Amino acid sequence: MNAPISIQTIIGQDGQPAFVVIPYADYVAQYARATALIPHEVVRRVMADDVPPVRAWREHLGLTQADVAARLGISQPAYAQQENGTRLRKASRDRIAAALGITAAQLDI
């Protein structure tokens, strides 16, 4: 049986719940399980700047096209073609995600 968790709800000025406070260890455990998070910067680049998700992630991670191409074992021009393509094959998407150190699902923006 699970032990009860000490959760505190903070009520706002309008009388509605505004915040929930949980023990730090529970927060860390929940955050560790959240593997498919996408940073705001990546989402903004994709949505506002119309950048392909692969490029947004690469830039967010501070990598060059040559860096990712080397991780994939292909040339930089070949990688650039994939990064700027309108549709990646599943196998290419999976390989690029692994090279970036993210899950393939995180490229689905």
pLDDT of 109 over the 90 cut: no
CATH code for residues 40-107: 1.10.260.40
CA distance 5 to 53: 38
pLDDT in tens, 49-82: 999 999 999 999 999 999 999 999 999 999 999 9
**Residue 84 contacts residue 94 (beta carbons within 8 Å):** no
- Position 1 scores a pLDDT of 46
Across the chain, the runs of DSSP E, i.e. the strands, are: 8-11, 17-21
- Position 100 scores a pLDDT of 97
The CA–CA distances, whole Å, from 2 to 5, 23 equal: 9, 15
pLDDT in tens, 29-38: 887 777 678 9
The contacts of residue 10 (CB under 8 Å, 6+ apart) are: 17, 18, 19, 20, 21
Provide the token pair at 60. 């967010």
Mean pLDDT value of segment 16-31: 88
pLDDT of 93 over the 70 cut: yes
Q: What value does the mean pLDDT of the chain take?
A: 91
The contacts of residue 4 (CB under 8 Å, 6+ apart) are: none
- Position 40 scores a pLDDT of 94
